[in-house]
Amino acid sequence: MNLLSEYSGPSLVFDENKFISNLSRIRKASQRTNTHVVMAAKSCTLDISRRIAMKYLSGFEVSNSREFAGLPDQNHHKESLLFVTNPILGCDHSYLFNKHYRTFVHVDSFHQFLELQKIERPLEFGIRLSVDEEGAINYQRRDVVTSRFGISFDQIGEIMQEAAASHHRLRGVHVHHQRKRVDVKAFHVTTKCILECIPDVEQFEYINLGGGLSGIGIEGFEGFLAQIRSEIPKKIKLIFEPGSLLFQGVVSAIGKIMNIKKIRNSYVLFMDISKECHLKWSDPVPLLPQSRTGKFTYSISICGPTCFEGDLIGQYKMKSDSKSFPLYVGQVIHFLNVESYSQAWNTEFNGIPRAQIMWQQQAE
């Protein structure tokens, strides 16, 4: 299908081949480095993405029962892992035992640990640790707390003591770096802190270092896994739970120019596709007709159709040979670098229809 000529409204377009190619590279990388990768379910709510991910990865990360309900049934040929990380951990935990995943609940506070004790049926759990930009500053400087998630490193001994008497089994620790672009250094700092601060760390079955891997990228992923793996004792399973990374290069968007105006030296394009409704968390790159040698450089602001002043897709420069502005109302623009999370957020704020979702299987 030609996305531009057969335009039928603002759309987010998934390329299945690229998704499978990412997943198979990730699977190879994790097999070669003896690590495990699960999909952060919140990164894409489409069933098909989860069914495909299940074939290549070791399981999922979810936050709550509604997210869990959207997972495929466990693949009975292998043990699939499920990590549950819920900032509020509600009172209905019965779902945890459905679908036959091997499930680990991550506790985010002492209160959650106590809540867990009310569940009679034994389960396996981990402790979510608090980290920030530098990896684990909450441990090094106790006066600075920059993440609202997790338990600080200095409280872990207390929970571990209580856990020893619990009917649930403490199996591991978990962190998740919140920033979009986390560098390798932050992962090293976190790993070092975990190994230095947790008493008897070797007794743990796993260390789960979460997501935040898009800055590392698919290309660098295997090298990264190998490095971190070499820092952690072999008998401890090393888990990652990326979302964004799985979809790198997979999602694009299309929208149509509906209105053009000139404000000072900049052309403002109003599209039918909205940053706020359809492109949340994305940093879209429009494929504009560029001419390298063009004599004229146009400054362009591309905006969405909502009444929100901040509905700005981005500001760009375009080189052209044409003295008159080359873009026109009715022109369809293709944007790359779209996050899968945009699909999960896709809303109809301000009466703007949701973007259509197109899952494309292209012949090789």
Ligand X SMILES: Cc1ncc(COP(=O)(O)O)c(C=O)c1O
How is residue 186 written in tokens? 């932050």
Q: Which is nearer to ligand X, 87 or 289 (CB)?
A: 87
Report residue 294 as tokens.
Answer: 């063009």
One residue of 10, 59, 135, 211 binding ligand X per CB under 6 A = 211
Give the nearer residue to ligand X in terms of CB position, either 53 or 257: 53
Please say which residue, 61 or 222, places its beta carbon nearer to ligand X: 61
**CB 156, min distance to ligand X, A:** 18
Of 61, 132, 222, 272, which one interacts with ligand X (CB under 6 A)? 61
Contacts of 54 (CB under 8 A, 6+ apart): 60, 72, 75, 80
Q: Please select the residue that binds ligand X; options are 10, 126, 135, 210, rule is CB under 6 A.
A: 210
Say which amino acid occupies 47: D
**Burial class of residue 195 in the structure, from the number of CB atoms within 10 Å of its CB (0-12 exposed, 13-18 middle, 19+ buried):** middle
Closest distance between ligand X and the C-beta of residue 41, in Å? 9
Query: Does 130 engage in binding with ligand X (CB under 6 A)?
Result: no
Q: Is 212 in the site for ligand X (CB under 6 A)?
A: yes
Q: Shortest Cβ distance from residue 297 to ligand X (Å)?
A: 35
Cβ neighbours for 353, distance < 8 A, ≥ 6 positions apart: 9, 10
Q: Which is nearer to ligand X, 320 or 340 (CB)?
A: 340
Q: What is the footprint of ligand X within residues 217-246 (CB under 6 A)?
A: 241-245
80, exposed or middle or buried, with CB in 10 Å at 0-12, 13-18, 19+? buried
Written as six digits, the tokens of 205 are 């079955």
Return d(Cα 208, Cα 229) in angstroms, integer. Answer: 12
Nearest residue (beta carbon) to ligand X = 211
The label of the residue with tokens 């979510």 reads 128
| Tokens 């994790």 -> residue | 30
**Residue 135 contacts ligand X per CB under 6 A:** no
Note whether 176 binds ligand X by CB under 6 A. yes
Least separation in angstroms between residue 258's CB and ligand X is 32
Least separation in angstroms between residue 265's CB and ligand X is 37
Q: Is 43 in the site for ligand X (CB under 6 A)?
A: yes
> Checking DSSP bridges between strand 285-286 and strand 296-303, what pairing results, if any?
unpaired
Residue 80 or 320: the one with the smaller Cβ distance to ligand X is 80
For residue 88 the two structure tokens come to: 């509020």
Q: Which of residues 245-264 bind ligand X (CB under 6 A)?
A: 245
Cβ nearer to ligand X, comparing 10 with 36? 36
Where does this chain touch ligand X (CB under 6 A) — which range of 21-29, 208-216, 224-232, 265-273? 208-216
- Helix axes of 184-197 and 217-231: crossing angle, nearest 10 degrees: 20
Tell me the residue length of the chain.
Answer: 364
Q: How far is the CB of 22 from ligand X (least distance, A)?
A: 13
Q: Does 213 bind ligand X (CB under 6 A)?
A: yes
Whichever of 182 and 333 has its CB closer to ligand X, that residue is 182
Name the residue nearer to ligand X (CB basis): 182 or 273: 182
Residue 133 CB neighbours (<10 A): 14
Q: How far is C-alpha 135 from the geometric centre of its chain's CA atoms?
A: 18
Using N-to-C axis directions, what is the helix angle for 217-231 and 16-33, rounded to 10°?
A: 20
Residue with smaller CB distance to ligand X, 43 or 346: 43
Burial 45-64 (b: 16+ CB within 10 A, else e): beeebbebbbebbbbbbbbb
Q: What gap in Å lies between CA 196 and CA 199, rounded to an integer?
A: 8
Taking the least distance from each CB to ligand X, the nearer of 33 and 85 is 85
- The span of 39-47, 189-197, 323-331, 348-356 binding ligand X (CB under 6 A) equals 39-47
Residue ranges that bind ligand X, judged by CB under 6 A: 40, 42-43, 61, 85, 176, 210-213, 241-245
